[in-house]
Amino acid sequence: MEGKDKDDGDEEVNLDVPNDLSQCGSDTNDEGSVTAKEKEITGTRSSAPKRCHHYDDSNDNSENDNINEGSHTQPHISSSKKNPKGNRVKMNKRLQYKYNHDEILSSIKDKELKESNEIKTLELDYQREIEQEKLQKDFIALDWQKEEQHIGIELKRDLGKQTNHELEEESMNTRIE
């Protein structure tokens, strides 16, 4: 009857089996009575062939399945799905990406800050130049005013001298006549 179960196709299918079934062994043991699903539930083991990397049978003792004698009963977890080291590597890549992203953002912020400081410095320099030009124009205007006043005073003096000189000549001319 046990052989009959094998032929009926009533075997439970292990969903973790890869698409390439040629590498997998049978889901039943040599006696044909215990399926892989039952083994996972009951924790019993037999000398069944290796099942697609679900169990590591390298330390298998088919005569004595005592855990204390070193038989390995932990399921082998593929590195592509749940390997903690693989996850750490992925986490490190994520952290590295985050670190790189943060570093890029900080460098962009530094550049923006530097550019804004440069812009502020240029604006201040431009304002200083404008103020210097205004002061120079004001100074020149004041200088011209002083110069004009000085020239005006000299002109008045000159005119005054001329007028005084002319008045003297006219008075001399009138005396002579």
* In a domain? residue 21: yes
Please report whether residue 129 resides in a domain.
no
Give residue-wise pLDDT tens across range 31-83: 455 555 555 555 555 555 555 544 444 554 444 444 444 444 554 444 444 55
Say whether 158 sits in a helix, a strand or coil: helix
Residue 149 belongs to some domain of the structure: no
pLDDT band, very low/low/confident/very high, at 126 (cuts 50, 70, 90): very high
d(CA 28, CA 34): 5
Q: Which residues pair with 28 in a beta bridge?
A: 35
Is 113 inside any structural domain? no
Please, are residues 12 and 35 in contact by the beta-carbon 8 Å criterion?
Answer: yes
- Look up residue 1 and give its two tokens: 């009857």
Domain extent, residue 9, equals 1-76
pTM of the model: 0.29
Residue 46 lies in a domain: yes
Tally of CB atoms within 10 A around 74: 7
The two three-digit tokens of residue 68, written as one number: 């204390």
The tens digit of pLDDT for each residue in 132-161 reads: 999 998 888 888 888 888 887 877 777 767
Instruction: State the total domains in the chain.
Output: 1
What is the separation of C-alpha 23 from the centre of its chain, rounded to a whole number of angstroms? 45
The answer to whether the CB of 46 falls within 8 A of the CB of 30 is yes
CA pair distance 40, 70, nearest whole angstrom: 19
Where do we find the tokens 């005396």?
175
Q: Is residue 152 part of a domain?
A: no
Unique residue bearing structure tokens 């952290």: 95
Q: Is the dihedral of CA 70, 74, 78, 83 positive or negative?
A: negative
